């Protein structure tokens, strides 16, 4: 079975600084997808960024980028120029590429605090 591990229960960063959230995963598959989701307090989970395992290029979305190391099974999220609105729980998630209906396997999450 696939597992996703987020070793940082909580991270704190000053506004406008850069922070990196860690994620490792375990799988025997060679093709899969990885995601970072953001869950603000009392609000729904939204997708931040996704990475396809067969792509070597790291995904980027504005201030958000990933460092995908397939051999090390590592998938970290870098947030540049942190803003107060970035404060949330961040979940790393894994999904197989089958059928289009497979559910996500999540890590336990990292609580990100932005210090003004």
Question: Of 35, 49, 34, 46, nearest to 85 (Cα)?
Answer: 46
Planar angle of CA 111, 113, 116, nearest 5 degrees: 170
C-beta of 108: minimal distance to another protein in Å? 5
CB of 31 to another protein, least distance (A): 9
Whole-number minimum distance, CB 83 to another protein, in Å? 22
C-beta of 85 vs 99, nearer to another protein: 99
List residues near another protein by CB under 8 A. 4, 33, 37, 42-47, 50, 52, 91, 95, 97-109
Q: Are 113 and 13 in contact (CB under 8 A)?
A: yes
- For residue 86, the 8-state DSSP code is G
Q: Which is nearer to another protein, 11 or 104 (CB)?
A: 104
Nearer to another protein, 46 or 113 (CB): 46
CB 2 within 8 A of CB 92: no
């Amino acid at each position: 079975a696939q597992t996703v591990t987020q070793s940082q229960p909580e991270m704190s960063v000053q506004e406008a600084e850069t922070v990196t959230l860690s994620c490792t995963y375990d799988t025997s598959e060679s093709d899969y997808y990885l995601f970072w989701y953001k869950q603000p307090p009392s609000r729904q989970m939204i997708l931040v960024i996704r990475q396809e395992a067969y792509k070597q290029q790291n995904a980027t979305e504005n201030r958000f980028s990933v460092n995908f190391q397939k051999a090390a099974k590592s998938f970290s999220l870098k947030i540049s120029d942190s803003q107060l609105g970035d404060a949330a729980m961040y979940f790393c998630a894994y999904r197989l590429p089958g059928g289009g209906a497979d559910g996500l396997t999540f890590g336990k999450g990292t609580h990100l605090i932005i210090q003004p």
